[in-house]
Amino acid sequence: MAEQTAEKFKTFNVDLWKYDGQAGALIPLLQSAQDTYGYISEKAIDYISHITGIPSADIYGVVTFYAQFRTKPLGKYVIKVCNGTACHVNGAKNITDTINDELNIDYEETSDDGSFSLLSVACIGCCSLAPVILINDETYGRLTPAKLRKVLRSYKQRVKKEAQTEAG
């Protein structure tokens, strides 16, 4: 794990120097940090501040202004709920309510154990399967609350098995 973090830091560090001293480099640097770590940590903000000379508070302001940036890591399983027109009219709200009930998370939140994150997306592009969600790269369509509960419970079982494997 420490080796992976060190390797990510090297990649991020190389990306930083590509933009050394260039005006307008902040957004690409923040994108690089998020691509490297999955989110933008306080440590990354401080590091970018040190390199660019931009105050950390100003960088934090940029991070929190743009919806593309996250200040917390995403869960292992990222659930994206389509809220496009077809999904909206076919019950996306019921799908979101079911996820809230099963996992106790809302949009832009991650479960306490770090296993699940919930995001809203404008369109997944599977309108004929509405309502649709993605869990990581797996598409689930024509969902009902009952079908979705079954899917979510299978992921919860997977999380439980992974935890048992890691523990022993």
DSSP of 28-94: HHHHHHHHHHSS--HHHHHHHHHHH---HHHHHHHHHHSTT--SSPPPSEEEEEE-SHHHHHTTHHH
DSSP 21: T
Predicted TM-score (pTM) of the model is 0.76
Q: What pLDDT does 167 receive?
A: 85
Q: How far apart are CA 60 and CA 131, in angstroms?
A: 35
Q: What is the pLDDT of residue 9?
A: 58
Which pair of tokens denotes residue 150?
């079954």
CA distances from 119 to 14, 78, 101 (A): 30, 7, 15
Q: Which amino acid is at 102?
A: E
SS3 state at 139:
strand
pLDDT by residue for the chain (168 residues), tens only, comes to 455 555 665 666 655 556 555 667 889 889 989 988 889 999 999 988 988 889 999 999 999 999 889 998 999 999 999 999 999 999 999 999 999 999 999 999 999 999 999 999 999 999 999 999 999 999 999 999 999 999 999 999 999 999 998 887
* Whole-number pLDDT of residue 35: 87
All residues at 6 or more sequence positions from 58 whose CB lies less than 8 Å from its CB, including other chains: none
